[in-house]
């Protein structure tokens, strides 16, 4: 029986050429799997037909936008996931979703191998292969671009020789990856970290320097999940799409950073994540209102570790699963409304309210009606500072 390879298929040059390349190198049949994570672009039926025309024995296409929003973007939002305190894991979040579909397709089609088009310098090779190792460890992984010398020039020559139905005449100066949660841009002149990004780098966001009226928005949450905008109930997918539109129109969510890649090098990346940044900002502020101090302090460390695990390709790891339980519990009371002003590239919180609020006006006010017993403060300070005081006396005695 002929072996089968399941290929993570994007519809572009590299993965289209990989269909025939893999068949020639291994003698295996190729099943192409394309996943719509909200990246836009071509119709899935067109992508499927191209895979078949390039030699795939079967092509699986899946509209996974709702799945991506519900099972990947929402957990990241509840964990306030910002790698290096800035990057909302745009590409990293989509990889475990794709891996899950690849593993399912491999089981269904009886494949013994899975292939991807990642290079040896990026994070995605790790995310794909670590995910597959967790979900389907028996599979062999092929990486033609990394391991078989399938350079772009060779890919173009292969496509022309085989008459593959793909356009290889245009080459973007950038490497772009995009989905529902944002857009990542790298390479080209951006590799010189002294060069500033120019406007044609961006597609999800308007120029924040252009004058325009501010946009006020109210986002409603239940247990840390955004459920409505301006009082209109929406699905998670609709919330993210709407905030992408509104925050993007105000230039919110532009990020230009040098980040630490998992493979040990630093890389300059430009991101656009208008909806993600606005929603995380709102969620963090509602946590400030509803989450008890010690829980909030501990959660900030959990949030950082959660984001690092996802960035590092360990979505399916035991630690990530355990932290998910903590994040779920910590969001139990994160219910209420946050009002924001979107303007000039910023998402600024201007109001917050919650039935589960821990903010007590009578305790916080300095005006008439203050119920805070200030006479208790002296004894509290004496006890709180006692360990440091005792240590100081000891140190002076023995210095």
Catalytic residue numbers, as ranges: 14, 95, 124, 175
How many Å separate Cα 257 from the centre of its chain? 15
Q: Would the annotation count 4 as a binding residue?
A: no
As a whole number of angstroms, the distance between CA 32 and CA 190 comes to: 32
Q: Would the annotation count 14 as a binding residue?
A: yes
Q: Would the annotation count 117 as a binding residue?
A: yes
Do residues 362 and 369 make contact, with C-beta atoms less than 8 angstroms apart? yes
Do residues 174 and 268 make contact, with C-beta atoms less than 8 angstroms apart? no
DSSP-assigned letter for residue 87: B
Q: Would the annotation count 325 as a binding residue?
A: no
Q: Would the annotation count 11 as a binding residue?
A: yes
Quick one: residue 163, left, alpha or beta (phi over 0 = left, psi -120 to 50 = alpha)? left
Q: Would the annotation count 174 as a binding residue?
A: no
Q: Would the annotation count 222 as a binding residue?
A: no
First CA to last CA distance, the chain? 81
Q: Would the annotation count 396 as a binding residue?
A: no
Look at residues 253, 25, 9, 65 and name the one whose alpha carbon lies nearest to residue 154: 25
Q: Would the annotation count 15 as a binding residue?
A: yes
Do residues 263 and 122 make contact, with C-beta atoms less than 8 angstroms apart? yes
E strands, 155-235, where? 175-179, 182-186, 215-222, 225-229, 232-233
Q: Would the annotation count 148 as a binding residue?
A: no
Q: Would the annotation count 371 as a binding residue?
A: no
Residue 95 CB partners (closer than 8 Å, separation 6+): 124, 127, 128, 131, 313, 315
- Could you tell me how many residues make up the chain? 399
Q: Would the annotation count 215 as a binding residue?
A: no
Q: Would the annotation count 385 as a binding residue?
A: no
277 has which bridge partners?
none
Q: Would the annotation count 16 as a binding residue?
A: yes
Q: Would the annotation count 123 as a binding residue?
A: yes
Largest CA distance in the chain: 86
Residues of the binding site for L-aspartate: 119, 123-124
Residues of the binding site for L-citrulline: 87, 123, 127, 175, 259, 271
Residues of the binding site: 8-16, 87, 117, 119, 123-124, 127, 175, 259, 271
């Amino acid at each position: 029986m002929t072996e089968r390879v399941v290929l993570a298929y994007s519809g572009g040059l590299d993965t289209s050429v990989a269909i025939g390349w893999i068949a020639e190198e291994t003698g295996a049949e190729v099943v192409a799997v394309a996943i719509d994570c909200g990246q836009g672009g071509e119709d899935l039926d067109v992508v499927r037909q191209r895979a078949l025309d390039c030699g795939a024995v079967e092509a699986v296409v899946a509209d996974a936008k709702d799945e991506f929003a519900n099972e990947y973007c929402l957990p990241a939002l509840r964990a306030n996931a910002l790698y290096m305190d800035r990057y909302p894991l745009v590409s990293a979040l989509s990889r475990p979703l794709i891996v899950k579909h690849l593993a399912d397709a491999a089981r269904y089609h009886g494949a013994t191998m899975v292939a991807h088009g990642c290079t040896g310098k990026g994070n995605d090779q790790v995310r794909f292969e670590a995910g597959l190792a967790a979900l389907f460890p028996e599979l062999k992984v092929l990486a033609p671009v990394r391991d078989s010398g399938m350079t772009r020039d060779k890919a173009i020559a292969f496509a022309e020789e085989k008459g593959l139905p793909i356009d290889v005449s245009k080459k973007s100066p950038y490497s772009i990856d995009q989905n529902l949660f944002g857009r990542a841009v790298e390479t080209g002149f951006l590799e010189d970290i002294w060069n500033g990004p120019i406007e044609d780098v961006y597609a999800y966001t308007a120029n924040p320097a252009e004058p325009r009226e501010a946009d006020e928005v109210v986002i409603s949450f239940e247990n840390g999940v955004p459920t409505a905008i301006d009082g209109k109930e929406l699905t998670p997918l609709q919330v993210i799409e709407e905030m992408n539109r509104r925050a993007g129109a105000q230039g919110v969510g532009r990020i230009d950073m040098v980040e630490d890649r998992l493979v040990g090098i630093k890389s300059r990346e430009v991101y656009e994540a208008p909806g993600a940044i606005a929603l995380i900002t709102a969620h963090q502020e509602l946590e400030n209102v509803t989450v008890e101090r010690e829980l909030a302090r501990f959660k900030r460390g959990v949030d950082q570790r959660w984001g690092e695990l996802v960035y590092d390709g360990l979505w399916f790891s035991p630690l990530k699963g355990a932290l998910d339980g903590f994040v779920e519990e910590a969001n139990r009371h994160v219910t209420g409304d946050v009002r924001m002003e979107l303007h000039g590239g910023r998402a600024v919180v201007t109001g917050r309210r919650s039935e589960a609020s821990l903010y007590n006006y009578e305790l916080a006010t300095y005006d008439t009606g203050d119920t805070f017993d200030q006479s208790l403060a002296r004894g509290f300070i004496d006890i709180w500072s006692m360990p440091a005081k005792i240590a100081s006396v000891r140190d002076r005695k023995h210095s």
